[in-house]
Amino acid sequence: MVAVSGGEPTGAGSAVDGDLRDLFGQSIAVFASLAGPEHVVESANPAFFATIGEERARTGLPLVELVPELAGQGFIGLLDEVHRSGEPYTGRDVRIVLGTGPTAREAFFDFTYEPRRDGDGTVVGIRVIGVETTQVKHAQLLMAEHRALLEQIARQAPLAEVLDGMARCIENLAPQELLVSVLLADPDGLHLRHGAAPSLPAFYNEAIDGIATGEGVGSCGTAAHRREPVIVTDIGTDPFWDDFRELAQRAGLAACWSTPILARDGSLLGTFAMYHRTPRVPRDSDFALIRVFAGTAALAIERHHSEQAQRAAEQRAESAMAELAKAVRAEQELRTEAEQRAAAAAELADQMRAAAAAHAPAPHPEGCQLGGAAGCTAPAEIKLADSWGDSAWGCTSHTEEALIHVRSAFIASEELGGLAAYRDR
């Protein structure tokens, strides 16, 4: 575990300019003095030996023996030409592959081959001066990708697409193999969900999806919990990985550097992690890269959250409008129904008034016959009949009640036959 000094929270508003400078790094000149047509390395500065590898830090040998991979890349031929012609040679951003097999690394250099002459002006060797531009080249490419990502975020591309694209661009441009993972925090900040990890195996992503944030929960759970970067340089021995070591080894992961992704208000949005296949300690430029892209991820996630909030607010407003419309419709229906009922009641009252006037001269019992078991003492005023020929006299209130509740009852009249039937029986 390497303690990270100066690990400030990586919010969207971090000092991106400083990080970009770090990302471009410091260029150190390599220098070597070669002698004779064989280009024997007479002397070289430490940066030269660091570049070709400390295990090859020797002098007194022809360059092609010290760094045999140069032969196939045209460098020895160029040196031969400079030695023969006495003309210096300068190349810019020259690509060179150093080492072989799995340890091979691509590098870019600005080179100058300067002839060295003796007192007579005869070329006796070559002075090689180079400045490594690898980091600058990579940083330039990264910044172009970074700009494209910002444009994508501004265009409101879907979050998964932005994060996936970001992960792939970092992976593609890294000089060494590197696997990027973005986890997204739940709103309560207590769990992390899969966000983007295009190069990690599916079984690994599934196992990590939903892990709790907390001290000792791998690099990401701990970084989320602490709200600060957690750099695990060797998963094989780090106690934070006790519960996930077997899983990580199955996925071929040996180092994991994780940084919390924080919102402008300091709340947790997720984590941004870089995994490596071999144990590794980050350099300043790695930290710069992490800060720049954790900040970019923060922008993308915050943008996504605000879009979600806006959509939710729109949906709430829509459903409130729908509720209101429903209430208005229900009120209208109730009012219509009440009006219809009032009209029907008024019509019935009119009919009963007319019937009472019409029935008054006819012979009829003294009292209401519709009071049921309880009886009714009100005077009989209206004669009711039904379609089966039954008839009875009722008071106004019992008549109304019977007309409403007995489907076949009607006010007896000559036209409808009820009263006639009654008279004839």
Selected from 368, 384, 411, 419, the binder of Zn ion by CB under 5 A is 368
Q: Which stretch binds Zn ion (CB under 5 A): 12-20, 155-163, 246-254, 364-372?
A: 364-372
Q: Which is nearer to Zn ion, 169 or 395 (CB)?
A: 395
| Amino acid residing at 63 | L
Selected from 123, 376, 420, 421, the binder of Zn ion by CB under 5 A is 376
**Site for Zn ion contains 356 (CB under 5 A):** no
Selected from 83, 146, 304, 398, the binder of Zn ion by CB under 5 A is 398
Q: Which is nearer to Zn ion, 37 or 371 (CB)?
A: 371
- One symbol per residue from 136 to 155: x for binding Zn ion (CB under 5 A), - otherwise; what is it? --------------------
Rg (CA), the chain: 46
**Site for Zn ion contains 262 (CB under 5 A):** no
Q: Which is nearer to Zn ion, 145 or 381 (CB)?
A: 381
Classify residue 170 as exposed, middle or buried by CB count within 10 Å of its CB (0-12, 13-18, 19+): buried
Interface with Zn ion: number of residues (CB under 5 A): 6
**Site for Zn ion contains 223 (CB under 5 A):** no
Give me 223's structure tokens: 């970084």
Q: Which stretch binds Zn ion (CB under 5 A): 155-163, 248-256, 320-328, 389-397?
A: 389-397
The Cα 284–Cα 290 span in angstroms is: 10
**Minimum CB distance to Zn ion, residue 360 (Å):** 16
Q: Which is nearer to Zn ion, 222 or 391 (CB)?
A: 391
Selected from 28, 263, 378, 402, the binder of Zn ion by CB under 5 A is 378
Give me 195's structure tokens: 């966000």
* Contacts to Zn ion from residues 282-341, by CB under 5 A: none
Q: Which residues bind Zn ion (CB under 5 A)?
A: 368, 371, 376, 378, 395, 398
